[in-house]
């Protein structure tokens, strides 16, 4: 028989030699939560193995990430409920939990890790939406842009290498880029949550950040039915100055990841979200799947679709395992 593709599958060494897609720790980012008012890390019940961290424990996490060769960390802040207001003003307060966490991580690891900060108001507003509301309860796109600029500037002052606007407000990247440049932060990168869908897979994240959301975000996050719109959003963000564009969630939107990757000349990120993590962990706990194989397969599928950067809650574990192999 002339054609025997199985010849290249005969041994582990052979399969490794010809593997088309490889996931490297340095292309991973670890989303991590820092919470005000706790004295020790608190496990997130909907995300077994993930924690809300203190300012001290986040320093340790950052050190472990550097030691394992992980490329970056995406920081989310969880303030006290009494610190939240209609605007989310604690988000740009230098003494807010997120900005203090950025500074703590930079003090601990310097430039050895890309320190990225989530630039969105949902964790900080009393109503849980990603922007300010009109009297009728609709998120006011243009009024929110100024607040995103304040937040991004505060994060840059705190030491963030990169800010990541995730609120899906039209024009957010251009507004933030202009604000950063005007203040001299021309080297601060923007990773735009460009194609962020109104997904059911964000559920466990709501616990992680203590969400106070009333209603839903369907008027500003994308409809899961729309594929072309995801590419359009990414192209708009690039035109506005995004350095990296993101698709979120990852696993159920690999077609969008592929579309964006084939059409742009900037790095493409994909966020393997809390629901993706929780489902796989739950199936593994029930003995239904091989946990480590499933984790590895899920990451390689995202990379295979075209993602250059993968945000995943398994970043540290995967990198540490890679060191042992």
- The catalytic residues are 196, 248
Q: Which two structure tokens, joined as six digits, stand for 52? A: 């809300």
What is the sign of the dihedral through the CA atoms of 286, 287, 292 and 293?
negative
Q: How many beta carbons lie within 10 A of that of residue 52, not counting itself?
A: 23
3-class secondary structure, 268:
strand
Q: How far is CA 234 from CA 149, 153, 202, 231, 253, in A?
A: 20, 23, 21, 5, 14
Range list of β-strands (E), 197-299: 244-248, 268-271
Q: Which residue has the tokens 């990773």?
A: 191
72-78 and 51-53: which strand pairing? Answer: unpaired
Pair 197, 223: CB distance under 8 Å: yes
Q: Which two structure tokens, joined as six digits, stand for 62? A: 């950052």
Give the Cα separation of 164 and 137 in Å (integer): 25
């Amino acid at each position: 028989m002339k054609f025997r593709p199985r010849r290249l599958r005969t041994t582990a060494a052979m399969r490794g030699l010809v593997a088309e897609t490889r996931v490297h720790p340095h292309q991973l980012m670890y989303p991590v939560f820092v919470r005000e008012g706790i004295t020790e890390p608190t496990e997130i019940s909907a995300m077994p193995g993930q924690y809300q961290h203190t300012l001290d424990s986040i320093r340790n996490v950052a050190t472990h990430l550097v030691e394992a060769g992980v490329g970056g960390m995406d920081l989310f802040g969880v303030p006290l409920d009494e610190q939240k207001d209609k605007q989310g003003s604690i988000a740009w307060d230098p003494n807010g939990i997120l900005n203090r966490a950025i500074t703590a991580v930079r003090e601990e690891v310097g430039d050895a890790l890309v320190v990225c900060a989530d630039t969105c108001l949902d964790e900080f507003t009393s109503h849980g939406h990603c922007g300010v509301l009109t009297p009728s309860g609709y998120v006011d796109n243009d009024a929110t842009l100024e607040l995103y600029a304040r937040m991004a500037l505060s994060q840059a002052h705190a030491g963030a290498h990169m800010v990541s606007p995730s609120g899906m407000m039209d024009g957010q990247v251009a507004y933030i880029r202009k604000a950063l440049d005007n203040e001299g932060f021309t080297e601060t990168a923007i990773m735009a949550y460009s194609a962020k869908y109104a997904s059911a897979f964000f559920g466990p994240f709501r616990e992680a950040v203590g969400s106070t959301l009333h209603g839903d975000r369907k008027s500003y996050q994308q409809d899961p039915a729309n594929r072309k719109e995801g590419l359009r959003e990414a192209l708009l963000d690039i035109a506005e100055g995004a350095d990296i564009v993101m698709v979120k969630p990852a696993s159920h939107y690999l077609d969008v990841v592929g579309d964006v990757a084939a059409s742009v000349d900037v790095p493409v990120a994909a966020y393997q979200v809390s629901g993706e993590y929780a489902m796989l962990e739950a199936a593994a706990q029930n003995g239904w799947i091989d946990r480590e194989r499933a984790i590895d397969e899920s990451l390689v599928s995202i990379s295979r679709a075209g993602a250059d950067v993968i945000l995943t809650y398994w970043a540290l574990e995967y990198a540490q395992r890679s060191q042992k192999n």
